[in-house]
Structure 1
């Protein structure tokens, strides 16, 4: 029973590490974008293509990055976390 408890604690710690890492990455991306809006509006207003400013492009990339980070978490959970939980509950 003690080994099972240690394995569960290890799994919980791994989940926290992954979630904090991905949450931290999203915060850096989002707040970096917000800080650009706050302190460098002319840069974000510059046009890349007619009708497409750098600000719009970066805003869309923030959303895409969120999707990618969600995908990474779901993939990790489905391939690592769920298997380890299933192994712990079968014993």
Structure 2
């Protein structure tokens, strides 16, 4: 087991997963807390009318939700196309040793 934990392929796998998780989390937090910041301190910006009845805050709030879905899609795509291949490489290394 120690050989696996010290394996360069395993270390690369863990590093890549942490790196992707960090950046996607950072983007999500920036989007969400940016929206909350505007709600708390810049209400007048979100109150600007886009149409006669819809303030700017509504489409921006919807955009926050859509960005969350897109980031989930990015992670899923990355996991299916990159991460799973790295996991398979580590599994092969385990079987060989």
Shift of 1:90: 2.6
* In 2, Cα distance between equivalents of 1:53 and 1:88: 52
What residue in structure 2 maps to residue 53 of structure 1? Answer: 55
What residue in structure 2 maps to residue 22 of structure 1? Answer: 24
* In 1, Cα distance between equivalents of 2:73 and 2:62: 17
Structure 1 residues not aligned, in runs of 5+: none
RMSD (Å), alpha carbons: 1.5
Q: TM-score, normalised by structure 2?
A: 0.85
| 1:65 alignment partner, one of 60, 64, 67 | 67
Where does structure 1 differ by over 6 angstroms across 4 or more consecutive aligned residues?
none
Structure 2 residues not aligned, in runs of 5+: none
Judge which range, 75-84 or 4-13, deviates more: 4-13
Larger Rg: 2
* In 1, Cα distance between equivalents of 2:43 and 2:23: 29
What residue in structure 1 maps to residue 10 of structure 2? Answer: 8
| 1:42 alignment partner, one of 37, 41, 44 | 44
SS in 1 for 2:7: helix
Q: Which has the higher strand share?
A: 1
